[in-house]
């Protein structure tokens, strides 16, 4: 597999940009977390059905279940959503990304990448960040982090190594996927550890 050290640095830098965007967005949310925003999110996720529909709708709009999940984690981190409420939204996000793929395959719609709007969003956020009013500054930070998050996601996708061209790596992963129930536990543990590490880095 033709994957140089420069490509690896691109991958690490993309991950850093993604984590920084998540951190800025989370901090902006914490500053904006008033009673109105809290009540709106509570109404949208008051039960499992509305939570799933909220996740489905958001994912259909922004075309990324990963970004929806990251935003939900930020909401939980800011104290705007509970763990129970977030589970429904994340389930809806997974359904939404599947439904979007079906619509594209059935009707032939081109998939829109919201990462194209990252730079224009930064142009909107910069004047707000330098505003003297704290509320506008917090909104600017949220938009800036939002733009960084999508830019980081897009760069992560493009800088990941092509595993399909490397059968050795695929064979190594398949060794852990043919162990039945133990495979589920192993990948669940890996996902849990990675999430803990990311959340620890974001909250620093």
**pTM of the complete model beyond 0.85:** no
Task: State whether 157 and 168 are in the same domain.
Answer: no
Q: Which two tokens stand for residue 101?
A: 């793929």
* Distant-in-sequence contacts of 112-119, Cβ < 8 A, 24+ apart: 112/63, 113/63, 113/154, 114/62, 114/63, 114/64, 114/67, 114/150, 115/150, 115/151, 115/153, 115/154, 117/147, 117/150, 118/147, 118/148, 118/150, 118/151, 118/154, 119/147
Task: State whether 138 and 170 are in the same domain.
Answer: no
- Domain encompassing residue 17: 5-161
Q: What is the pLDDT of residues 26-69, one digit of tens each?
A: 777 777 766 666 677 777 787 788 888 888 877 766 666 766 77
Q: For residue 17, give the nearest of 200, 124, 144, 136 by alpha carbon.
A: 144
Q: What is the pLDDT of residues 61-92, one digit of tens each?
A: 666 676 677 778 777 776 777 878 888 888 88
Task: State whether 183 and 151 are in the same domain.
Answer: no
């Amino acid at each position: 597999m033709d994957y140089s050290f420069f490509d690896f640095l691109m991958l690490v830098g993309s991950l850093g940009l993604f984590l920084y965007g998540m951190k800025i967005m989370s901090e902006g949310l914490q500053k904006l977390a008033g009673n109105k925003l809290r009540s709106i999110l509570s109404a949208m996720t008051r039960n499992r059905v509305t939570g799933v529909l909220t996740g489905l709708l958001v994912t259909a709009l922004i075309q990324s279940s990963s970004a929806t999940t990251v935003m939900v984690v930020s909401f939980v981190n800011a104290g705007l959503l509970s763990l129970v409420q977030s589970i429904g939204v994340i389930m809806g996000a997974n359904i939404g990304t599947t439904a979007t793929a079906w619509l594209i395959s059935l009707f032939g719609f081109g998939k829109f990448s919201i990462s194209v709007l990252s730079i224009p969003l930064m142009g909107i956020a910069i004047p707000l960040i330098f505003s003297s009013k704290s509320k506008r500054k917090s909104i600017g930070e949220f938009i800036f982090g939002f733009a960084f998050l999508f830019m980081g996601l897009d760069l992560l996708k493009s800088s990941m190594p092509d595993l399909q061209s490397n059968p050795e790596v695929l064979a190594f992963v398949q060794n852990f996927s043919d162990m039945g129930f133990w495979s589920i536990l192993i990948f669940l543990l890996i996902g849990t550890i990675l999430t803990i590490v990311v959340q620890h880095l974001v909250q620093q």
